[in-house]
Structure 1
């Protein structure tokens, strides 16, 4: 059943615009059954791309393979997610891996002859962004879109020529996005190469000429713990950095929380303070960053500690780069102790680790300066990418007018 609006859009249920099918359910029997085939699951499908790097296998009969095998142009949508905002996240299968099937954590939409795959996926992206999937999803601890609910949603079918025009415009911006992302990846690889080359002493059998190897506590004589106060979202309080606010060697000020009471001056952040994340998951413990006065007043929570370097022997920026070195991250994880769902690094044990550093502060500054050149170029590319993403959303809003394309 369909309806045509005055503006030429023909509204049809998704299940009439194409075929909607849930994937095969994983079971203990299918794990060991014959006819093992690789399948995609929710962890493989991201917005606009499919990750083929971690593909599982289970048994499919010949009949099941005919039903669940993917074809180029199929669209896969996340059926269930802990985050309601990610329900319906979608990507077009490009046929990059042969004989792939899909699990029931995904919904497959196979467009009919009146719908282009890329146009349908662009509509689904808009639906997710505008909350259309969230409105129809079943909300429990895991939010579920549901194949039958998805199939009943009204899909805007427009002439194929107009679909192609929309896809071509969005693809042009997407190509620029991919170029910016490739540039960022290249710069990040270059930065990593500079870091590993400049700090090769860390993995050497002994410190080279001009370097020294000594316990960290000799150049970091003290640490300060953060505050242990219940935080809230009232921005009239003192901004408080938590463990999720440290990434890539610097503070990220999204999702800030605030301390509702006055904070002693000794707990306020100062320019050049080095923060170390002592409690987190095993993958993220040890995140570190340097405070550069991003806010007029801020403090830090007790999951973080402030390392106080002897600036006559080590500059704060070098200390952060040392903490972020892959070999040091591994050593930090090795001394972590397991707590409930998290691990903890005792600052005393941290300060017992050995650090390698140039004895000349000027050499430390030179090393850091070469890395900061990369950081500035990466920041410029990220800014460009951010502008492209805003532009793409604006074009999508204009081309896929939400007032017209959601019912």
Structure 2
């Protein structure tokens, strides 16, 4: 009886994994259609500096004179979102440029090789916050660029290779030069096309979260049943 239930859970797990894979493909196809110069969005290539207000590196200066504020570090960025856990706080001196504003995009290396990166939109989740060295804050020009589209573009593998080639810093492979990053060329469709992509992306993200929750529940139940079965055979 238990073995039959476990088998059915495995099949259900495979089905949910398949649905997640389809969502990833749907999202990629939607983005590729948006960045296509021949597409309806009329994407054109231009240096990043033409569509962002600023790119600033994190500068962390501890002080006892300021109350503690959240400091976002590279580890707080998941693949396209900020981590769900609370952000570590520290007493820090905040300059005007170091304060995150809703809509800012955080960008940081995913590992020490400096060849893969993570990006996420800051939406004011914890009110006032800043970011550490190793994290770049990209502030889009909202008349030209939608933050969620920028994040999706930054996560494309070919874009990450382009950024690694153009923007890596002489300080170390895991660091990016803000000035060189501004030289990286970006495919920029119309604002309407970016907003349409963002709507599709939001729907896919909601569906992905539902599927991920289903998968976690299936794996948790399967694990409990497998453990019970092993104990019963001991």
User: What's the TM-score bracket when you normalise by the shorter of the two chains?
Assistant: 0.7 to 0.9
Instruction: Give, in whole Å, the separation in 2 of the partners of 1:265 and 1:378.
Output: 37
Could you tell me the TM-score, scaled by structure 1's length? 0.49
Larger Rg: 1
Which of 208, 217, 238 matches 2:49? 217
Q: Is the 8 A contact 1:238 1:299 kept in 2?
A: yes
For residue 326 of structure 1, report the CA deviation from its aligned partner.
2.8
Q: Which residue, out of 316, 322, 335, partners 2:147?
A: 316
Unaligned segments of structure 1, at least 5 residues: 1-164, 231-235
Distance 1:329 1:224 in 2: 18
What SS class does the counterpart of residue 281 from structure 1 fall into? coil
SS at match of 2:133: coil
In the aligned structure 2, how far is the partner of 1:209 from the partner of 1:252? 32
Kept after mapping to 2: 8 A contact 1:226/1:300: yes
Which residue of 2 is the match for residue 259 of structure 1? 89
User: Residues 226 and 303 of structure 1 are in contact (CA less than 8 Å); yes or no, is this contact kept in structure 2?
Assistant: yes
- Which one has a larger percent helix, Structure 1 or Structure 2? 2
2:35 is matched with which residue: 199, 202, 215?
A: 199
- Contact residue 285 and residue 344 of structure 1 kept, 8 A: no
Q: 1:273 is matched with which residue?
A: 104
Q: 1:327 aligns with which of 148, 151, 158?
A: 158
Counterpart secondary structure, 1:386? helix
Which of the pair has the greater relative contact order for Cα pairs under 8 Å at 6+ separation?
2
Equivalent position SS for 1:221: strand
Match of 2:213 among 360, 365, 383: 383
Instruction: Report how many residues are paired.
Output: 228
- Which residue, 153, 168, 192 being the options, matches 2:4? 168
Aligned to 1:74: none
- d(CA) in 1 for partners of 2:18 and 2:153? 26
Which ranges in structure 2 are unaligned for 5 or more consecutive residues? none
- The corresponding residue for 1:362 is 192
Superposed CA RMSD in Å reads 3.1
The TM-score normalised by the length of structure 2 is 0.81
Q: Does 2:133 align with 1:302?
A: yes
Equivalent pair of 1:275/1:290 in contact (CA under 8 Å): yes
